[in-house]
Amino acid sequence: MSDTPKIVAARIEVARTRAALIETARELQGRLQPKTLASEAWEKAKNKGADLAEDAVDAVRKRPVAVGGVVAALTMFLAREPIKDAAVKLYDAMTSSEEPKAKAPALKTQTRSKPAARAVRKPARPARKKETAA
């Protein structure tokens, strides 16, 4: 049986389409491998991080005073305990040199004072009895 030119052309077209489909499937397999997916995600994250860094640098160039204030406020918030301790030590150092320390009193002979008046206690009230319903 001899094939007509239409049938031969259709078979050639089917073979070409099948080869293209198989090639597409292989390409998809390569793209969907975990290693490839992780690599693409890493590249996207690096690019996004670089974009954010560039934006931050641009913002600092436009408003250096505002950014400096924000950084200083954040630093002071994070270091609030050491700053507080340093301020207390500084205050103690400044006040201890200016104010003389109180001298210990010399030994004195004890004089008898009058005994303090005793407080009069009221007698305690007796506890009330709870009535129980029978």
79: in domain: yes
User: Whole domain around residue 77: which residue ranges?
Assistant: 63-98
Give the mean model confidence (pLDDT) for residues 29-51.
92
Predicted local confidence at residue 81, as pLDDT: 93
27: in domain: no
Predicted local confidence at residue 77, as pLDDT: 92
1: in domain: no
Give the mean model confidence (pLDDT) for residues 101-121.
62
41: in domain: no
72: in domain: yes
pTM (2 d.p.): 0.36
3-state SS record for the chain: CCCCHHHHHHHHHHHHHHHHHHHHHHHHHHHCCHHHHHHHHHHHHHHHHHHHHHHHHHHHHHCHHHHHHHHHHHHHHHCHHHHHHHHHHHHHHHHHHHCCCCCCCCCCCCCCCCCCCCCCCCCCCCCCCCCCCC
Q: Give the pLDDT confidence of 54-99 residue by residue, as tens digits.
A: 998 998 899 999 989 999 999 999 999 999 999 999 988 888 755 5
Share of the chain above pLDDT 90, in %: 53
Q: Binning pLDDT at 50, 70 and 90, where does residue 111 land?
A: low
Q: Based on the structure, what is the number of domains in the chain?
A: 1
